[in-house]
Chain A
Amino acid sequence: MTMIEAIRDAHFVAMEQDDRVVVFGEDVGYFGGVFRCTQGLQERFGNHRCFDAPINESGIVGAAIGMAAYGLRPCVEIQFADYMYPAYDQIVSESARLRHRSAGDFTAPLVIRMPTGGGIFGGQTHSQSPEALFTHVAGLTTVVVSNPYDAKGLLIAAIEDEDPVVFLEPKRLYNGPFDGHHDKPIVPWSQHPLGEVPEGEYRVELGKARIHRPGSALTVLTYGTHVHVSEAAAEESGIDAEIIDLRTLVPLDVDTIVESVQKTGRCLIVHEATVTSGFGAELSAMVQERCFYNLEAPITRVCGWDTPYPHAHEWFYFPGPDRIADAMRKVVST
């Protein structure tokens, strides 16, 4: 199953088992979403539970908050994460704070899905990775998925969660486990074990990381597309990296990370988003605070360069397997 099909399947399961779940966004109803993640939902569940929204992200998220506060379980799509900014006020000032400012009387159980990241020649307004803009906000759960199995289980868990969840889907992973080699043919999810998605309902717990590749030479903390790119870097360099797919950035699975770094003594952080004030900075600080006496090398980051996402230099910006492998060599040889 592709990640698109897995996400679609999660919607079906959630809407089937709970009639409070409603789905809307730009082109998601009749058309089924620009990435096809909501295809068939309107036919199955009707216009009142799956519908098209105008192009107005602030209205989409604001209305979802009102629905959530009054008993529904909205799961809305922002067509590209890059379109999120008009909704940011509603996400930050409203959704993240309802529980706190009402002392628990109100919550906002909503999910805001967003295709994220680059690798599809989307240029500066269709390629960004804004996860750190959410992890910085107290009150939000932030998920970044890396494969179909997790996508389905995490989305069901997110819809059932009592508080707002920002659910980021790397669009470069929708159809296959992209390893960063853009000039090679696309490998479909049908040829990858994490493309095997069970029928029916299951959950992947929010706040739990997954050890994607066990290893002993160093710990790689990453998420989304770069789980697969880091794996390629490990295989190609022959370095026995332990790759941790964080899955949920907030709440963060501190125990899994600390246990791994205490074992390997070395830590590399990889993400596609720009480096300065990226989520890697938070990870680095946390590892330093908890594993300082275990570290045998400086914590290192491989991230996107500090520039708007480029039109002309997509593959120079995108942290590829070579850059990651170089950093791995540096970290293990220090």
Chain B
Amino acid sequence: MELNTDTQLDLHHTMVRIRLFEEAAGQLAEAAKLPGFLHLCVGQEAVAAGVCATLNDDDQIASNHRGHGHLVAKGGQFRPMMAELMAKSTGYCKGKGGSMHISDLSVGMLGANGIVGAGVPIAVGAAWANSLRGRGQVSVPFFGDGSTNIGAFHEAANMAAALKLPVVFVCENNEYGEFTPRDKTMAIADIVDRAAGYGMPGVIVDGMDVVAVYEAASEAVDRARRGDGPSLIEAKTFRFYNHHGIQNLGLRYRTDEEVEHWKQRDPIFTFEDQIVGAGSTTREHITEVWNHERANIADAVEFAEHSPTPTTDQLLTDVYTISSQTAEVSP
């Protein structure tokens, strides 16, 4: 498939936005300005960008603990995202979700999730709702290699296949479940092998190649939208940083050589070489994109830093049940 120039530039733009958001969040966490656990997806940008570029605005995604990139790619805005991470009232979830539970239904982002595998069946449920309404939407759960070991994934995959639902399962296989390599926790090398067990097609794609991801996702999304049922995409990728935080080298559970090997295949820089080489754009334009988005992220950080923290009377709002103690809560 020969992608048109606009699509190529869009893919690049999205990856740059994800990278800059993640780097800024990492810096804020290092400076103790951003509370909570932070799981960055630097290195994995091509998967979120490539998949979400094939989706319509009203299609849905469900994400995991490493979810900022998915939201950016689905149309999330820097300001409310950064404010949410910093627990500010101007955040997407008024500061109640944070990094691990950020969501924005208006762009079809059902939520990051602090529980491994938990978002996968939720996306299957969204697909059922879509089928019932007959609007032709597609649901995409993003999850890691580690989550394919937990029951929730298997139950969701089986349900989606049995019910022939419009779901595209996207596994970002970055080779490590937290701090343990994949080969210590499963006997297969390829996650895609699991698809056959549920009667759905699966494909392996180079997760560092945004065009390859885009092409595989296009096919899977078309199939789901046609009513031909779910499929699974396994994107082989790598997170450049630690499971959480921004350390990348000198880690006990993986070698620096491995990190360097993958960084040589940086999904953004390799794609830039490709599109400049093909004459789709110029180095000057690429620099402009980076500078433009650097200004946007600086604006978002400033916005978040100057936003108010939620008042304490907000603590018991948005809770379903009325507590017998509600009256006692006062700032």
Binding site for B on A (CB under 8 A): 26-27, 29-31, 34, 52-59, 82-83, 85-86, 121-126, 275-276, 305-308, 310-314, 316-317
A306 to B88, CA, bound (A): 21
Beta-carbon contact of B150 and A56 below 8 Å: yes
Could you tell me if B309 and A125 are in contact, using CB atoms closer than 8 angstroms? no
Select B178's contact among A55, A59, A122, A125, beta carbons within 8 Å.
A55
Q: Name the B residues within 8 Å of A56 (CB-CB).
A: 149-151
A313 touches B315 (CB 8 A): yes
Instruction: Kindly list chain B residues whose C-beta atoms are within 8 Å of the C-beta of A83.
Output: 115-116
A-B pairs with beta carbons under 8 Å apart, 6 shown: A55-B150, A55-B178, A59-B149, A275-B324, A311-B97, A312-B310
Most buried by A among B87, B89, B326: B87
Closest to B252 in A: A31
A-B contact count (CB 8 A): 126
Considering the complex, give the chain B residue whose CB is closest to the CB of A314: B35
Rounded to whole Å, the gap between the CB of A80 and the closest CB of chain B is 9
How distant is the Cα of A121 from the Cα of B152 in the complex, in angstroms?
A: 26
A86 touches B101 (CB 8 A): no
6 closest Cβ pairs, A-B complex: A125-B114, A306-B323, A54-B149, A311-B98, A312-B95, A54-B185
Number of residues of chain B lying within 8 A (CB) of chain A: 48
Contact call B323/A276, Cβ cutoff below 8 A: yes
Residues in A whose Cβ lies below 8 Å from that of B324: 275-276
Bound state CA distance, A317 and B315, in angstroms?
Answer: 8
11 new A-B contacts at CB < 8 Å, known A59-B149, A126-B37: A27-B178, A27-B179, A29-B180, A54-B146, A54-B150, A83-B115, A123-B36, A125-B113, A275-B324, A312-B310, A313-B312
8 Å CB contact of B146 from A30, A55, A58, A308:
A55
Write out the residue numbers on chain A whose beta carbons fall within 8 Å of the beta carbon of B319: 306-308
Known contacts A30-B184, A82-B115, A305-B315: A55-B149 contact under CB 8 Å: yes
Q: CA–CA, A86 to B121, complex, Å?
A: 14
Contact A82 B114 (CB under 8 A): yes
- Chain B residues within 8 Å of A27, by CB: 178-180
Give the dominant DSSP class at A's interface: loop
Q: B96 contacts the other chain (Cβ, under 8 Å)?
A: yes
> Contact flags (1/0) for B22-59 with A, using CB distance below 8 Å?
00000000000001110000000000000000000000
State whether the Cβ of B196 lies closer than 8 Å to any Cβ in chain A: no
Contact, CB under 8 Å: B178 / A58: no
- Give chain B nearest CB distance to A154 CB in angstroms: 27
Question: Which listed residue (B115, B116, B178) contacts A34, Cβ 8 A?
Answer: B178
**B323: A residues at CB distance < 8 A:** 275-276, 305-307
In the assembled complex, the CB of A147 is this many whole angstroms from the nearest CB of chain B, namely 26
Beyond A26-B180, A52-B180, A55-B147, is A125–B100 a contact (Cβ under 8 Å)? yes
Q: Which residues of B contact A55 (CB under 8 A)?
A: 116-117, 146-147, 149-150, 177-178, 185
Smallest beta-carbon distance B37→chain A, Å: 7
How distant is the Cα of A308 from the Cα of B152 in the complex, in angstroms?
A: 22
Chain B interface (Cβ < 8 Å from any Cβ of A): 35-37, 87-89, 94-101, 113-117, 146-147, 149-152, 177-180, 184-186, 252-253, 309-310, 312, 314-316, 319, 321, 323-326, 329, 331
With CB as the reference atom, state the residue of chain A lying closest to B310.
Answer: A312
Say whether B151 contacts A34, CB under 8 Å.
Answer: no
Chain B neighbourhood of A306, CB < 8 A: 316, 319, 321, 323, 325-326
Shortest Cβ distance from B316 into A: residue: A307
Q: Are A54 and B151 in contact (CB under 8 A)?
A: no
The chain B residue sitting closest to A31, CB to CB, is: B179
The reply to whether A307 and B315 contact each other, CB–CB distance below 8 Å, is yes
Closest residue of chain A to B323, judged by CB? A306
On whether the beta carbons of A52 and B98 are closer than 8 Å, the reply is no
With a cutoff of 8 Å between Cβ atoms, the chain A residues found around residue B87 in the complex are: 311-312
| Contacting pair A123 B315 (CB below 8 A) | no
Q: Given the complex, which residues of B lie within 8 Å of A307, measured CB to CB?
A: 315-316, 319, 323
Give min CB distance, A85 to chain B, whole Å: 8
**B95 touches which one: A34, A53, A311 (CB < 8 A)?**
A311
Chain B: minimal CB distance from A148 (Å) = 24
Q: What's the Cα separation between A81 and B117 when bound, in Å?
A: 16
Q: Determine if A275 and B325 form an interchain contact, defined as CB atoms under 8 angstroms apart.
A: yes
CA distance A316 to B186 in the complex (A): 42
When distances are taken between beta carbons in the complex, the residues of chain A under 8 Å from B152 are: 86
Q: Are B185 and A52 in contact (CB under 8 A)?
A: yes
Interchain CB contact (< 8 A) of B151 among A86, A121, A312: A86
Minimal beta-carbon separation of B97 from chain A (angstroms): 6
Cα distance, A313 to B36, chains bound together (Å): 12
Residues of B near A275 (CB, < 8 A) are 323-325
Residues of A within 8 A of B177 (CB): 26, 54-55
Bound-complex Cα distance A122 to B319 (A): 19
Least Cβ distance of B315 to chain A in Å?
A: 5
Contacts of B149 in A (CB 8 A): 54-56, 59
- Cα–Cα, bound, A178→B321 (Å): 31
A-chain residues with CB within 8 Å of residue B186 when the two chains form the complex: 54
The docked-state distance in angstroms from the alpha carbon of A306 to that of B327 is 12
CA distance A14 to B223 in the complex (A): 56
Question: Which of A122, A305, A312 has a CB less than 8 Å from the CB of B329?
Answer: A305
Question: Which of chain B's residues has its CB closest to A85's CB?
Answer: B115
Contact B96–A26 (Cβ < 8 Å): no
Least Cβ–Cβ distance between B278 and chain A, in angstroms = 41
B28 to chain A, nearest CB (A): 13
Closest B residue by C-beta to A80 = B114
Question: In the complex, what distance in Å separates the CA atom of A219 from the CA atom of B185?
Answer: 49
Chain A residues with CB under 8 Å of B178's CB are 26-27, 34, 55
Partner of A311, one of B36, B252, B331: B36
Q: Determine whether the beta carbon of B185 is less than 8 Å from that of A123.
A: no
Tell me which residues across on chain B come within 8 A of A57, comparing CB atoms: 150
A316→B180 contact, CB < 8 A: no
Q: Is the CB of B151 within 8 A of A58?
A: yes
Least Cβ–Cβ distance between B294 and chain A, in angstroms: 27
